[in-house]
Amino acid sequence: MTAQVWDGGPAAVLTVNAGSSSLRLDLVDGGSVVDSAHAERAMEPDAAREELSAFLGRHLDRDVAAVAHRLVHGGDLVRAPVVADDELARGLRELTGLAPLHLPPALALLDAARELLPAVPHVLCPDTAFHAALPDAAAVYPLPRPWRERYGLRRYGFHGLSYAWASGRAAELLGRPVADLGLVLAHLGGGASVCAVSGGRSLDTSMGFTPLDGLPMSKRSGAVDPGMLLWLLEDGRLTPDELRRGLERESGLLGLSGGRSGDTRDLVAAERDGDRAAGLALEVFCHRVGREIAAAATSLDRLDALVFTGEIGWDQPEVREAVCRRLGLLGVATPVRGNRADDGPVSAPGAAVPVLVVEVHEELQLARECLRELYGPAAPQEADRGP
């Protein structure tokens, strides 16, 4: 789009981040979060409108310059931040099968926000944008060419807002330009993935065509043998709906622990109490994370740091330590400290490969990308401040 002219006025941005079963609203002004609301439940259209209306009602005295919406998957339709309109919203509704847990609530929030704030631009910020320039070697699937061309089958990658923020913060913490760094980042949370970044650019990532690929997650399976899935669909063993529900809602840490929990905090406590299924869930998860980190590192010329982010990456030292114990071949040592109150290293001083933790701040990255899309180089500098 053609950049608008920045008039030097307030740059308050409402950020809307709809998860598969959660909603986070943040008001970002001057590069800082001035208010937040977080709901841990799926957002039906009426509930989404009520949450937004209540949040905005607390800020009637503040001008909102724009609304930034996290869009998990835009397919080939939305590859970079863009202002939403009716036509684009209709097109995205045809893509909900690509991310059935995420796109329907996000679109419900988009409709509600456009109704409540019709006079301001609504900018869609896709999680896939950070990976849009993946090298062909990483992005192209070994599938028949007609399939790939007809259906747009490629590795899209996700958690891009988190990776964009974390790679910039890691550069600040290391005191080096992001353009000079080779990093592997692990976003570990309810959804989980790994990404190799060189020069601020994504070179490889573990999630693929959908957010179901890659690492085991809280309730999602991650990558499993496609031959096994075909076998499960044969001879009436499972219906497609049963398979989808199992892979998306009953697998991952929840399935590994025998239905106990998809939350690593619960599983760490249960393992200490002797729960073998909880221990297995954590062991499988950490093994797979370590394997994906090692694989991602092969895309780099050198590994300057390993960065953990996401709720688990930031707040679960037992998981970080178990993952790093598997990475001695890369020069990664086991962290020497647990959780921090701020971003920074958890590895020993002088470590060959520093291990950093960066708190996830998708809301600040959303505001940053929104303002850059609207105002280009003239976007207010406050949008670029770190925490």
Q: Domain locations in the chain?
A: 13-126+363-384, 174-353
State the residue for tokens 């960065």: 307
pLDDT digits (tens, 9 = 90+) for 183-216: 999 999 999 999 999 999 999 999 999 999 999 9
- What tokens appear for 289 in the block? 């994370």
Lowest mean pLDDT among 34-48, 88-102, 250-264, 371-385: 371-385
- Is the pLDDT assigned to residue 258 strictly greater than 70? yes
Alpha helix locations (H) across 142-275?
145-151, 160-174, 226-233, 240-249, 252-256, 264-272
Spatial contact of 47 and 17, defined as CB atoms under 8 Å apart: no
> Same CATH fold, 174-353 and 13-126+363-384?
yes
**Residue 33 Rama label (left phi>0; alpha psi -120 to 50; beta):** beta
127 is an active site residue:
yes
Across the range 65-84, mean pLDDT stands at: 93
What is the CATH superfamily name and number for domain 13-126+363-384? Answer: ATPase, nucleotide binding domain (3.30.420.40)
Is the domain 174-353 a CATH 3.30.420.40 member? Answer: yes
pLDDT digits (tens, 9 = 90+) for 2-25: 344 444 445 799 999 987 767 899
Question: pTM for the whole thing?
Answer: 0.92
pLDDT band at 100 (very low <50, low <70, confident <90, very high): confident
**Residue 176 Rama label (left phi>0; alpha psi -120 to 50; beta):** beta
Rounded Cα gap, residues 238 and 51, in angstroms: 38
Active-site annotation holder among 26, 29, 127, 204:
127
- What tokens appear for 151 in the block? 């259906």
